[in-house]
Each structure stands twice: as C-alpha cells, then as structure tokens.
C-alpha cells in the first residue's frame, strides 16, 4: 500500500501549563474544542497530513506537559523536532514572560535550524487580556519568529499558524538541500519517502531524489 504522504516531520508544542496547547492541537487535528481537558501528563501526540506547495506533508504534533517537573521528560523530545510552537496565553502576563525561558530551552535542547513560531492563544478572551498584541509582535521580532494570535475556541488562526510553521520547516530544509551537503542528509531526520514506483511524476516524486 502506498504511503499517503511525501514527507514526514515533527512539530512540538511548548509553553506554560494551561495556555491551551492541547486545545490548539485538538482544534487543528480534529476541529474540536473542549473547554475542559485534563492536564497533559508527560507527552502526547496527534498526526495530520496537510498539503503545502503540492507536497503532502505528514506532521506529527507533540503535545507536552507545561509544568516544570515534566521538563526532564519533555526536553527529550526537543531534539527530534523540526518545528516548535512557543505558546503563551494572552490573558496571562506570566506565561508571556516565560517565553524567554522556553526559548532558551529550545536553544539548548533543540537541533540547530529548528523553526520556531510564537503563538498568543486565547485571543477570544479580550476582556481578560494582559498581553497586548504588539507585545507579542515585538517579542516575536526580537527572536526572529513569526507571530500569530490564535483562539482554539473560535478557531482563529489555527490552520494558518500550523500551515505557516510547516512551510517554514519545508523551506528551511530546502535551503539546506540546495546548498552544499556537508552533513549526512538523514541527520536532518526529515524525509521518509515512499518506495512506490508506480506513482505518477509530480513535485513530490521529483523531490524524492534529494530528500531521501
């Protein structure tokens, strides 16, 4: 049976406890929103295949526990991520302040060249807002990240942000592939291409030669 995607990679959701990481994930993969999730213990994941630039991208999204105690475990997953969502809650100044700490963790534990994107979630809770949109933009700019304010509840910018990070990861790896390949390509841990010979020609198939 042919695989149903051309490329497979991992995204990771990190951020303080209760900012809505699990809600973002469920909205994106299942288009569902539940006001009350149980807290994530350790690590969980979901998968979804999306098409970007004609490439079927299978993304595994790893959802992590936000509490500090779990970080010994969650950090073990940074290493294998190609893209990372840094999530804060716009109604929690504290969760925004902590982004700094999350970024430094990423710098320390994630592979070089990992793509990052900043998310200010719970954008629907305007009355409780503690973090201005500009603050988010500012921080994202400082770190050279893209920024989205999202709401898993109203389905605001969910698809957009996930697609954007996916694009960034694709781009990042294309660049590397176009340049001189000093490292073994599988070190990038990016592509798992199908071995289906009968597949018609297409952008995915032509990329096969360089992404294996």
Site residues, another protein (CB under 8 A): 3, 8-10, 17-18, 22, 26, 30-42, 45, 47, 58, 60, 65, 67, 69-70, 72-73, 80, 124, 151, 153-155, 186, 189-190, 192
In terms of CB distance, is 19 or 145 closer to another protein? 19
Instruction: Report the residue number, 145 or 150, with the smaller CB distance to another protein.
Output: 150
Q: How far is the CB of 38 from another protein (least distance, A)?
A: 5
Select 38 or 180, whichever has its Cβ closest to another protein.
38
What number of other Cβ atoms are within 10 A of residue 130's Cβ?
A: 14
Strands (E), 3-133: 7-15, 43-52, 55-64, 83-89, 115-121
| Nearer Cβ to another protein (56/143) | 56
**Distance linking the first and last C-alpha atoms of the chain:** 19
In angstroms, the CA 93 to CA 183 distance is 41
Quote the distance between the C-alpha of residue 41 and its chain's center: 19
To the nearest 10°, the Cα dihedral for 23, 29, 31, 37? -30
C-beta of 146 vs 176, nearer to another protein: 176
CA distance 19 to 32: 17
For the CB of residue 186, give the shortest distance to another protein in the complex, in Å.
Answer: 6
Could you tell me which of 2, 1, 46 has the C-alpha nearest to residue 21? Answer: 46
* DSSP-based three-state secondary structure for 101: helix
Nearer Cβ to another protein (46/174): 46
Rounded Cα–Cα distance for residues 119 and 117 (Å): 7
Q: Output the smallest distance, CB 171 to another protein, in A.
A: 18
Give, for 147, the enclosing helix (H) or strand (E).
Answer: strand 146-149
Q: Smallest distance from the beta carbon of 120 to another protein, in angstroms?
A: 16
Closest distance between another protein and the C-beta of residue 163, in Å? 18
Residue 141 CB, nearest distance to another protein (Å)?
A: 29
């Amino acid at each position: 049976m042919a695989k149903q995607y051309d490329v497979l990679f991992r995204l990771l959701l990190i951020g303080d406890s209760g900012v809505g990481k699990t809600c973002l994930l469920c909205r994106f993969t299942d288009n569902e929103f539940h006001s009350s999730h149980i807290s994530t213990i350790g690590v969980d994941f979901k998968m979804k295949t999306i098409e970007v630039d004609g490439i079927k991208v299978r993304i595994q999204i790893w959802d992590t526990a936000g509490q500090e105690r779990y970080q010994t475990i969650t950090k073990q997953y940074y290493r294998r991520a190609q893209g990372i969502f840094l999530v804060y809650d716009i109604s929690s100044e504290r969760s925004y302040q902590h982004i700094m700490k999350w970024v430094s963790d990423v710098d320390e534990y994630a592979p070089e060249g990992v793509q990052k994107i900043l998310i200010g979630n719970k954008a629907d809770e305007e009355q409780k807002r503690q973090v201005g949109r500009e603050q988010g933009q500012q921080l994202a700019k400082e770190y050279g990240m893209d920024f989205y304010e999202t709401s898993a509840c109203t389905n605001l910018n969910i698809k957009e942000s996930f697609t954007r990070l996916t694009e960034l990861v694709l781009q990042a790896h294309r660049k590397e592939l176009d340049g001189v390949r000093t490292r073994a390509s599988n070190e990038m841990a990016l592509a798992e291409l199908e071995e289906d010979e009968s597949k018609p020609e297409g952008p995915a198939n032509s990329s096969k030669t360089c992404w294996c």
